[in-house]
Structure 1
């Protein structure tokens, strides 16, 4: 059973998510709160697999929750919840190490699948939302840097460590494809894709697929 810690200041939202996960099977909310002030204590006590957190909350918001959780040893996946897919805070949360984010109007089945996905190490990167986030923030980055904050030349040089196949896999990750979708595009098995993704993240020293996608964008390859 996938254990979830849920943080949202709206009781109706928490109730809805709790019921959806319970009905979907395979996941349950083991703890919840109205903000992230106690998130470290909740994670330590309940050892969840996933932390679902709203972006805008009183006291400690979703960005700080992400930083606090990802700084822990062997942290759970963090997925941020937002009302708008161009919420400026979402980009900051991804930069802080979130595995992805969900819109609050997500279909119930998709929510259950999203929780199951991040537990396996995949990121919730919708191609549509990823492109819009990158485009929205490219104009705000310093000259010579990419939307992920890295110098374009440095990002491209880092990718020299990859084999041609690993580079190909990395680009598909930046496009927001799941392992299954990458496997279908490249005509390889899903287990092979998982191995390649693991090697790519190790070589580039990135903690998750979100950071990998931003690095690929910084290098100008996606």
Structure 2
């Protein structure tokens, strides 16, 4: 399967486990515009067989498809660098990577609804707007915002926006 990371505004990596539940031996090649450490790391940690960006030449896309299709792995240079930092002997050597990894682990701990609230807050919406958009009560959104701030160790709105940018959720 060739999978883009952003389909209909959803993070496709979250569907990988569902796909593997139906077809455990599915081979997955990520083909995406995202080339930041967090997206690459998440893809690698869930065990995709290949990762290339849309900046890749047609020749590299062909190589990746053929490699993954025949049961091998293929990672472009960006993914290879991140993979290298994940190797046990390289753990702890890259402090920015560790900070992002820690942030991403915190983000993964959010529920699906909390992630939605996090993204809407980062986009500048307030509690009333988010409640209306999601069809929830303001109290529910306030509770989810509190959970997001606690799980993500967010101090204020500025901190929330900076973390959303580091996660690659805002540009």
TM-score of the superposition, structure 2-length normalised?
0.44
Q: TM-score, normalised by structure 1?
A: 0.35
